[in-house]
Amino acid sequence: MLLKFDQQGSLFEQLARALKREILEGRFGADSHLPATRSLAAALGVSRNTVIAAYELLRSEQLVAARAGSRTRVMNNTVAPAVRASRISIRAQSRFSTRTRRLRSVTLSGLKAGPQYNLWYGDALTRPQLLASWRRKLVAAAVWAGSRYPSAIGLPSLRSAISKYLLRRRGVSCNPDDVIIVSGTQQALCVVARTVLEEGQSAVIEEPHYELAQHALLAHGARLTSVRVDSEGLVTAELPLRPPRLIFVTPSHQFPSGAVLSLARRLELLKYAAANDCWIFEDDYDGEFQYGNRPLPALRSLDVGERVIYSGSFSKTLFPGLRLGYIVCPTGLRNDLCMAKALEDLGCSSVEQAALAAFLESRQYEKHLRKSLAELRNRREALLDGLSRHLAGDIDIADSSSGMHLVVWFRRLSYRGLDRLVAHALEQGLGIYPIHPFYQSPPPRPGLILGFAGLSPAQLHTAAALLAGCLNKCRRPD
Ligand SMILES: Cc1ncc(COP(=O)(O)O)c(C=O)c1O
């Protein structure tokens, strides 16, 4: 008998677990005797007390029985020899798992050990002052948020603060009762898909698209149709003749192209949804950061027909680790969406919600947004400046006036050259990320999605110069 100790916890517990495995895997059969404590202790080089304590633990779990004067015996009703799970490769247990097994793994957390100059787009702007005031709000909230289950659709104070904020900043007029707090856009979309889509029904996504939205819909069993995006956003004239149930859009700042959906297209999209009885999921993930004169209000602000399910997130405006966002429900879907969210997780953490409500109510949130916007504007200009200074003849920069990333297209670079460029840049401490994974099929020219929130203006200048140097190295013909 070779007992395997797992090195976790105290010695007698490890011994008990090792013996338990022997029993469950049938190597100690029903009614057989465990070794005498003295001889097992000697064989293992441990104290007899350790063995006695391990046997006592097994007895308390009713796996063995001990009578005074006789050896410890394995209970006879204990053991149906089990095959260890790790040896079995389990086939997908549901249609859902069959579908999720086909999906490419996607993360927004970036590389574990990030390069020195990382142009990863998933990072939010981190301001030390924000973290300091957030900590104070969190500590206070921990005291007064209460220890009971929160309302599953969110704290009333937060829902009310969000509805006032949306009217001021995004032109969305809604009642606090229409707002559901969720743990980010991802949960919003899953809850919405469950509520409005049957497996096998169709949904439209943009091309290029936000991969995690595509995955959520595919996992749900939706049949996806891609509709092209141009410089005015989704090409509404190409919406399918057979209407989908759901249309996923990022109108304020198309992800990842950066286009803003024009007013004419917004109206066409709403008309199409009303005429065809479909729902629009508006993902307003970074609509707060617009560098033009006056930010365009959300699509939902034009939605008199109540077809838009509006979703916002604090992942970009505060930080993604917070995992808080919201849905603004069309009246007719409100009860169904509330029930779906309640069944999902009984509500988001009330401490974080209470802290956020206080943050919004005190207007510190909007002050933070103003400061972030100013800083992001500096960073964006630094990147644009660096790119035009060092790479003017090599790239085209996609037109975009909002958000936290830019898209650039190479004028003369093959996809093989792009692979070399990404690898070489990484060796030089520069993290760059191709845009083609966000397309169903790679576009004719390779391009990059450059996040600028995570680096200072000076670092962004250096990153642009580094990129130019790497490009020169990698641009030999294939
Ligand atoms: C297009 C898009 N939507 C939504 C989000 C935010 O998702 P969540 O609120 O789940 O963090 C992101 C984050 O990068 C995004 O790129």
Place of tokens 């956020």: 356
- From the alpha carbon of 210, which atom of ligand 1 is closest? 1
pLDDT for 110 equals: 62
Residue 471 and residue 410: Cα distance in Å, rounded? 10
Q: In which element (H, E) is residue 59 found?
A: helix 48-60
- From the alpha carbon of 250, which atom of ligand 1 is closest? 1
pLDDT for 79 equals: 55
| DSSP state letter for 311 | E
- What is the side-by-side order of every strand in the sheet holding 405-410? 395-397, 405-410, 447-451
Query: Residues 407, 425: contact at Cβ < 8 Å?
Result: no
The best mutation among 109, 125, 183, 285 to test binding of ligand 1, ranked by most ligand atoms within 8 Å of the C-beta, falls on 285
- From the alpha carbon of 325, which atom of ligand 1 is closest? 9
Q: How many CA atoms lie within 13 A of 154 on its CB side?
A: 29
The best mutation among 183, 185, 254 to test binding of ligand 1, ranked by most ligand atoms within 8 Å of the C-beta, falls on 185
pLDDT for 85 equals: 56
Taking the centre of ligand 1 as the mean of its atom positions, its distance from the CA of residue 283, in whole angstroms, is 8
Supply the residue whose CA is at minimum distance from atom 5 of ligand 1: 285
Is residue 158 classed exposed, middle or buried when 0-12, 13-18 and 19+ CB atoms within 10 A define those classes? buried
Supply the residue whose CA is at minimum distance from atom 15 of ligand 1: 285
| Omega prior to 295 cis, within 30 of 0 | no
Taking the centre of ligand 1 as the mean of its atom positions, its distance from the CA of residue 313, in whole angstroms, is 7
SS3 260: coil
| DSSP state letter for 335 | H
Supply the residue whose CA is at minimum distance from atom 7 of ligand 1: 185
Model confidence pLDDT, tens digit, residues 180-208: 999 999 999 999 999 999 999 999 999 99
- From the alpha carbon of 122, which atom of ligand 1 is closest? 14
pLDDT for 423 equals: 95
pLDDT for 94 equals: 97
Low-confidence ranges of the chain (pLDDT < 70): 1, 78-87, 110-113, 476-478
